[in-house]
Amino acid sequence: MKAIRQYEFGAADVLRHEDVPDPVPGPDQARIRVAVAGMHLVDTTIRRGSAEGPPLPALPVTPGREVAGVVDAAADPSWVGRRVVAHLGQANGGYAELAVAPVTSLHALPDHLSYEAAVALVGTGRTALAVLELAALGPSDVVLVPGAAGGLGSLLLQAARRAGAVTVGLAGPAKLPHVDADVAVDYSVPSWPDEVRAALAGRAPTVLLDGVGGALGRTAFELVGTGGRVVLFGWAAGAPFELSVWDLYRQGLTVSCAIGPRIFARPGGLRGWEEEALALGASGAWRPLVGPAYPLSDAAGAHRAMEERRTVGKAVLAP
């Protein structure tokens, strides 16, 4: 089969499209003929060998932690031929024509849920639920979401709207048409905070859901009104924004972090969130924003697009 192989940490061109032997599933595993593999911004951090993200894999590795497709081999024959999605976690192996996954990680998909939506929900959707649990959104909230046309930002805006909140999405100019919010603002323009204030006509955001960090995250943080809540879940800009306890005293805010140890310490594990996210997709309550698939052979180009902020919604690969 064809797969992406990485032998060293570095720039996107360390991702090589190669012929490798077909993987053979173990007794508790299934083999999936991959229709769609999910990509993450954090995949680029891991690829570079950054110590600031999740634990780095042993090399060589086939990256990729989310796959959807049809089971083509499994010790339990009842799985063969079924449409599934799986989160592969630290095992990786998703950027490939065939991937093996523990049978316990499989989710059978209803026919009407696309592979693209399934890979967007199984990981990004479960992170969205972790954020939403902390945010506890309600109809009196005004919710500010940077990175609003990203995979996670777009789901968070949908959830905020369903909670009855006023939604404010921030994105770069090319992505603004993809921001589904009551107020959509181009945050590449220096005066963007004034645009947010004007659009909200005197109301301050009550909640910030921030996965961008850096200077943009900090400016968004300063817009949150007294008593507001801030939920942090990433630093797409390259670093979290600077924050001191004095900031919390000054603005009377509550700040929490949805990822890292907390998410893994969840009683009962992450599978419950995966099921919930997939059910929200299957019912139509969540409609993941997914960009056009990149060919598996151009995984390096897809990584460059993510790093250069050219992707919209969940970024995916198609073998």
Whether the link from the prior residue into 60 is cis, omega within 30° of 0, is: yes
Select 225 or 240, whichever has its Cβ closest to ligand NAP: 240
By rule CB under 6 A, what string of x and - marks binding of each residue 123-162 to ligand NAP? xx--x-------------------x-xxxxx---------
* E strands present in the chain: 2-6, 15-19, 29-38, 66-74, 83-87, 98-102, 106-108, 142-145, 166-171, 183-186, 207-210, 229-232, 254-257, 294-295, 316-318
Cα 213 off chain centre by? 15
User: Using CB under 6 A, which of 306, 316, 317, 319 touches ligand NAP?
Assistant: 306
Alpha-carbon distance values, 202 to 142, 157, 206, 240 (Å)? 12, 21, 12, 28
Select 224 or 306, whichever has its Cβ closest to ligand NAP: 306
Q: Which is it for strands 29-38 and 66-74: parallel, antiparallel or unpaired? A: antiparallel
Q: Of residues 98-127, which lie at the interface with ligand NAP (CB under 6 A)?
A: 123-124, 127
By rule CB under 6 A, what string of x and - marks binding of each residue 236-275 to ligand NAP? xxx--------------------x----------------
Query: Would you state the structure tokens that stand for residue 154, as one six-digit string?
Result: 């777009």
Beta carbon of residue 72, minimum distance to ligand NAP (angstroms, whole number): 27
Give the C-alpha separation, 297 to 283, whole Å.
33
- Using the rule CB under 6 A, give the single segment among 35-43, 89-97, 193-201, 269-277 that binds ligand NAP: 35-43
Select 147 or 205, whichever has its Cβ closest to ligand NAP: 147
Q: Is 235 helix (H, G, I), strand (E, B) or coil?
A: coil
Beta carbon of residue 281, minimum distance to ligand NAP (angstroms, whole number): 14
Select 4 or 121, whichever has its Cβ closest to ligand NAP: 121
Does 172 bind ligand NAP (CB under 6 A)? Our answer is yes
Does 207 bind ligand NAP (CB under 6 A)? Our answer is no
* E strands present in 2-118: 2-6, 15-19, 29-38, 66-74, 83-87, 98-102, 106-108
Does 92 bind ligand NAP (CB under 6 A)? Our answer is no
Nearest residue to 298 via CA among 58, 16, 51, 8: 16
At a CB cut-off of 8 Å and minimum separation 6, what does 16 contact?
A: 4, 5, 6, 7
Does 229 bind ligand NAP (CB under 6 A)? Our answer is no
By rule CB under 6 A, what string of x and - marks binding of each residue 37-76 to ligand NAP? ---xxx----------------------------------
Q: Where are the alpha helices (DSSP H) in 151-191?
A: 151-162
Give the C-alpha separation, 220 to 211, whole Å.
11
Select 98 or 181, whichever has its Cβ closest to ligand NAP: 181
Q: Are 118 and 316 spatial neighbours (Cβ–Cβ below 8 Å)?
A: no
- Using the rule CB under 6 A, give the single segment among 29-37, 76-84, 167-175, 269-277 that binds ligand NAP: 167-175
Q: Are 218 and 238 spatial neighbours (Cβ–Cβ below 8 Å)?
A: no
Beta carbon of residue 26, minimum distance to ligand NAP (angstroms, whole number): 27
Select 159 or 237, whichever has its Cβ closest to ligand NAP: 237
- Interface residues with ligand NAP (CB under 6 A)? 40-42, 123-124, 127, 147, 149-153, 171-172, 175, 211-212, 233-238, 259, 306, 309, 311
